[in-house]
Amino acid sequence: MKLQGVELRRINMPLLSPFRTSFSVQTSRDVLLLRAVTDEAEGWGECVAMADPLYSSEYVDATADVLRRFFLPALAAAPEALAQHGATAVGQVLHPFKGHRMAKAALEMAVLDAELRAADRSFGRELGAVHDRVPSGVSVGIYDEIPALLDAVGGYLDAGYLRIKLKIEPGWDIEPVKAVRERFGDDLLLQVDANTAYSLRDARHLARLDDFGLLLIEQPLEEEDVIGHAELATVISTPICLDESIVSAQSAAAAIKLGACSIINIKPGRVGGYLEAVRIHDVAAAHGVAAWCGGMLETGLGRAANAALAALPGFTLPGDVSASDRFYATDITEPLRIVDGHMPVPTGPGLGVTPLPELLDEVTTTVEWVAL
């Protein structure tokens, strides 16, 4: 496979409604898409970096810059590696560059999609999927009032979602969780996500969540405070799930050994790509640690890839693999829908989905071609 060039395309995707977390309020997504053109096929990648460095140190302008100035020239200088090893060579070639995992993930995704389309193989088959559909959960943002939250949760349950994740922060935690549990009952699969909003000083307060039978509490403390999470695990009985703290198979193994988590949320963009995500899945499975696939408000491209990843055997909890209409009135691909609470895993070549040109053009803000 010879990589001829990569198109960097910025699109703006308005959200159906504001999505509020402990660190930001999003009303739209500024998305960087990559189209890798090889001598055999084209492939698409989606960068999950946000417009501002709030969830992580990465942001969209920086990912475009590092791709343009460093990553793409590095791949252009290593044609033999790509020819011999395909997408697996992307991580090897880019390894000397520190960080910028979301940019690396997007580039690897695009090259892998092109490689698999040329070989008529699907993402699911390549990653090791064992299911043809995956249970679908939904992430519910922070609201101003509990009645509005209850209405939203009720709507998602009516739509068929099997698991509810509530975003929490200091001042919006115990009462909304209690209200949801009381309204929808003990059988509801319910979990919470703090996005690093608390410190170890809040341990006793967080222990009050133990009364509600939650599946897990996700990333309560700062991403670098792995020891703090291990200490918190001795105070609360709700299982701790790590998200931002897990950036590689190595960091996953360390967190597990320290007792910092009993569950891991695996987001391919955060860890440098789908191939590293599979390695983290394997580490978790080897240690008996549950895993699930998180979401980053992806378009249909990223959702299709996430569904394929979530179909691996070690993903034992419902992930944030929601339908296109969870966030967008119109997706850039054919809409992905849930059926009986599950997302079908695409079976076509590569991602199994492709942007529709007329929809893509409507939301495109800039296009740049980088020949290699």
Mean pLDDT along residues 99-107: 98
Element (H, E) at 133: strand 133-135
- Do residues 362 and 13 touch, judged by C-beta distance below 8 A? no
Query: 151 vs 67, 143, 155, 343, CA distance in Å?
Result: 42, 11, 6, 23
Give the tens place of pLDDT for each residue, 188-232. Answer: 999 999 999 999 999 999 999 999 999 999 999 999 999 999 999
pLDDT band at 101 (very low <50, low <70, confident <90, very high): very high
pLDDT for residue 149:
98
Mean pLDDT along residues 78-98: 95
φ/ψ of 122, rounded to 5, equals -90, 160
What is the spatial distance between Cα 160 and Cα 279, in angstroms, rounded to a whole number? 31
Q: Which two tokens stand for residue 124?
A: 């699911």
Give the tens place of pLDDT for each residue, 354-364. Answer: 999 999 999 99
Positions annotated as catalytic residues are: 167, 267
Q: Which two tokens stand for residue 116?
A: 């698999």
CA atoms within 13 A on the CB side of 366: 10
pLDDT band at 370 (very low <50, low <70, confident <90, very high): very high
Q: Above 90 in pLDDT, residue 1?
A: no
Element (H, E) at 3: strand 3-20
User: Which pTM was predicted?
Assistant: 0.96
3-class DSSP state of 203: helix
Give the tens place of pLDDT for each residue, 330-353. Answer: 999 999 999 999 999 999 999 999
Average pLDDT of every residue of the chain: 97
Q: Above 90 in pLDDT, residue 41?
A: yes
What is the spatial distance between Cα 213 and Cα 203, in angstroms, rounded to a whole number? 17
What is the spatial distance between Cα 303 and Cα 29, in angstroms, rounded to a whole number? 15
pLDDT for residue 239:
98
Residue with tokens 């076509």: 348
pLDDT for residue 267:
98
What is the spatial distance between Cα 92 and Cα 84, in angstroms, rounded to a whole number? 12
Q: Above 90 in pLDDT, residue 143?
A: yes
What is the spatial distance between Cα 1 and Cα 280, in angstroms, rounded to a whole number? 27
What is the spatial distance between Cα 333 and Cα 363, in angstroms, rounded to a whole number? 12
pLDDT for residue 48:
98
Q: What percent of the chain has pLDDT over 90?
A: 100
**DSSP 8-state secondary structure symbol assigned to residue 336:** P
Query: Residue 241 — left, alpha, or beta (φ > 0 → left; ψ -120 to 50 → alpha)?
Result: beta
- Give the number of residues written for the chain: 372
Please give the domain boundaries of the chain with CATH numbers for all domains: 3-120+354-371 (3.30.390.10), 125-344 (3.20.20.120)
pLDDT for residue 165:
98
Stronger pLDDT, 140 or 1, i.e. the higher one:
140
